[in-house]
Structure 1
């Protein structure tokens, strides 16, 4: 009987050997560009964040120069480059999201595929196929763990970071394709990677910068697993469904095999992955939408006496608890996971697509004072919709006694409200422009559009390096 991992591996090799549907190829190009923009914006952030720490660590380790660290231009071993770039891709919490699994698949998979492609001199078409296969496998693993009756992922119910756990296997599949592994070899790479993925999401609640490196470690582990499989290390054939396999170990053996395997190559979970308009935890986005809408209606924050934010019940523990941590976050990064702070920031003004990276540059006392007025509660309608889409309602009480409110049933950028090509272009230009001059940003967009026809990815990564590294 063909095992689960072998089925996924055969699907992956078909992406490389038989080609992809046109809409999938086009979608992947956008994923790569979004990751590059996020990486450049993160690299331009002040010292002291996770990405600079990771870069300093890999410089300590040294090794054979194979692939580029975005922004710095350092030439590193492929696993180390994947570690740096994966950390950059996730560091700002601006990376894409698959629903309803609530995974961020591009952040681990694209850096792994880029590092492997540069190390091997693979053409752009190989990279595109690898990214498509890796993201699809990552998303399928996430969907297998989503239980409709719980309206949530079992990974999250247990405090595990599904992105870094599933992303490690997706990254291994992508890298294995680039390294030229057969279906058997890719199954081994995934089997090896299954022993490497990890990640806890307590940092979402109470702080710490480790979560920013989760996708970097997943990318690093994925590339490492692919190379180890290339050199002969093997994984168990029943690594996913076995008695001591992936699903049993992580989520008590409760998983949906059809969601994992049915319609592979025909129904693409990749295409259900949405882009973020705001650089914050995705659970905060509908609340930001509500706050922006009320501000547009003329609400003066100085007139607000009380704020009630209604959100899906499962997200309260991430963006509302502990109460003291969310109303007075410890750092600008921690503020990205605070419903009260992001609402206050949106009510007081924002840049970019409504709330921008500069809005999280420091903890503003005025925003903290307004955040202290926010009370977060479970909203029945938002809970019913979650996690097919992210919904919220924001209710205000003003000094004159009026009680304006606004509700959204699907956050901006979500499945019912996708970002337009113009909005995606603005996001990329704004992000990349933090590190690159305007003409270099335009050249990077052009190179990404021609990615599938390019002989190598070296030119693309070269453009993603400032003339004078930051």
Structure 2
């Protein structure tokens, strides 16, 4: 791990404190709105998912009052609304992904921005700027690509969304509260000492809860800082800080905290499959072969993926739809069987499909060091020993192979129209595309009541 004399904490605090006066480029604002469209779609459809219901019920017991909207529900305090909503965002593993390693920023950052802004009646433009600020903080702290922070956290067993998501949410809240640089740094430092979230919980209710708890803890951290709570502000330095604790062998390349050159938001990605990102490249390749095979003639399937794919999606024999989302082998078998890996495909019925279950047993997944995380190779070996080959050079949805605005709208409509109806879906997506303009936050908040 490199060392530096530059006070990283000071840089972080100042960046958050300047959120209210910062001017954002048009392409950054547009990308924030794209992220909001995606966030709203995946959150609305999952509002009552099996992973979210226990969180809703537990939060209801607190009987907390506030003006923050629970998606398709009532209002409560910002921390609880963000807890529930961000859990829903991540429930189907269908939410956005930062391809340089910071995890899934939309859930913690948008849930926090909306909940806090609703509660304090913040201007729409302030909510937009706070989201962008939180996203940049989360992405800078968790970025760096394969040798960087987020990917190394995963190798060590920690979920980046949970770890740096808290920091993103704290930055969003501090920006909306108008905290100064010192207070903002204390808010971030509070999240550093409470960060956690284990990869071992993937395939259970614990993974989406990571996003919800990150949002909740970020708000709490900023609330404490606003009241004068003093935290260990040295935790963001590269000696004896949070990274030393999480990555104790120091085998990590920490990217600089350079907020002046380029926006991390422009490197955001969007999912077209409702499963762990690590399954996407191989599933996309397998879909090319679905119509070319007869399942009875398949001898074996050989898949080559980036080594990190088996850290998060290496389950060879999932037993539940949620576990299936974290299995390269099962997702490839689904894709070869004609499934599009939509959210509705991950149900108990897929386990009754013998095409999928029999193929899954024939899939061998090889992790290849140095292979791009956005790529995959799939070979289907037939009984005749003929080989059908397909590859994904760059996953669709990656910033280097982006989903169009129209593609995001199609995803949104497929998720929201069945829940809210065509007219309401049209209104809410229209407000999302104009978010930051006066009245957009109000329109979204009203429709999220689901009444």
TM-score by length of 2: 0.93
CA RMSD of aligned residues (A): 2.0
Query: Residue 160 of structure 1 aligns to a residue in which SS?
Result: coil
| Residues 188, 233 of structure 1: 8 Å contact kept | yes
Residues 112-167 of structure 1, C-alpha deviation per residue, up to 9 Å, x if partnerless?
1111111110111111101111011101111258526xx97221121011111001
CA distance in 1, matches of 2:142, 2:256: 8
1:414 to 372, 381, 398: 398
Structure 2 partner of 1:165? 163
CA distance in 2, matches of 1:24, 1:318: 30
| Residues 34, 405 of structure 2: 8 Å contact kept | no
1:267 Cα deviation from its structure 2 partner: 1.3
Structure 1 partner of 2:218? 222
Runs of 4+, deviation exceeding 4 Å: 253-257
Residues 252-290 of structure 1, C-alpha deviation per residue, up to 9 Å, x if partnerless?
356555x2312x133111211111111100010011111
CA distance in 2, matches of 1:94, 1:460: 21
1:339 matched to 2:328? The reply is yes
Structure 1 partner of 2:104? 104
Pick closer, same or farther for the CA change 1:429–1:319 going to 2, 3 Å. same
Query: Residue 271 of structure 1 aligns to a residue in which SS?
Result: helix
| Residues 193, 225 of structure 1: 8 Å contact kept | yes
CA distance in 1, matches of 2:234, 2:439: 37
Structure 1: gaps of 5 or more residues: none
- Which stretch of structure 1 is more off in the superposition, 207-216 or 12-21? 12-21
Structure 1 partner of 2:264? 269
Structure 1 partner of 2:182? 184
Residues 15-42 of structure 1, C-alpha deviation per residue, up to 9 Å, x if partnerless?
3212211111111111122111111111
| Residues 294, 406 of structure 1: 8 Å contact kept | yes
Residues 420-465 of structure 1, C-alpha deviation per residue, up to 9 Å, x if partnerless?
2221111111122242101110000111122211257232122123
CA distance in 1, matches of 2:417, 2:321: 21
1:32 matched to 2:28? The reply is no
| Residues 8, 137 of structure 1: 8 Å contact kept | yes
Note the 1:42-441 alignment, pairs <5 A: 42-45=46-49, 49-71=50-72, 73-101=73-101, 103-143=103-143, 147=147, 153-204=151-202, 207-241=203-237, 243-252=239-248, 256=253, 259-262=255-258, 264-296=259-291, 298-321=292-315, 326-327=316-317, 329-350=318-339, 354-362=340-348, 363-365=350-352, 366=354, 367-379=356-368, 383-387=369-373, 390-441=374-425
| Residues 37, 412 of structure 2: 8 Å contact kept | yes
CA distance in 2, matches of 1:282, 1:455: 34
Residues 176-220 of structure 1, C-alpha deviation per residue, up to 9 Å, x if partnerless?
11112122221111111212221001123xx42211100000000
- Which stretch of structure 1 is more off in the superposition, 103-112 or 216-225? 103-112
| Residues 91, 212 of structure 1: 8 Å contact kept | yes
- Which stretch of structure 1 is more off in the superposition, 450-459 or 277-286? 450-459
Query: Residue 125 of structure 1 aligns to a residue in which SS?
Result: helix
Query: Residue 299 of structure 2 aligns to a residue in which SS?
Result: strand
Pick closer, same or farther for the CA change 1:254–1:404 going to 2, 3 Å. closer
1:404 Cα deviation from its structure 2 partner: 0.6
CA distance in 2, matches of 1:119, 1:12: 20
CA distance in 1, matches of 2:449, 2:383: 51
Pick closer, same or farther for the CA change 1:19–1:338 going to 2, 3 Å. same
Structure 2: gaps of 5 or more residues: none
Query: Residue 239 of structure 1 aligns to a residue in which SS?
Result: helix
1:17 matched to 2:3? The reply is no
Query: Residue 139 of structure 2 aligns to a residue in which SS?
Result: helix
1:245 Cα deviation from its structure 2 partner: 2.2
CA distance in 2, matches of 1:317, 1:28: 29
CA distance in 1, matches of 2:425, 2:260: 33
TM-score by length of 1: 0.89
- Which stretch of structure 1 is more off in the superposition, 124-133 or 136-145? 136-145
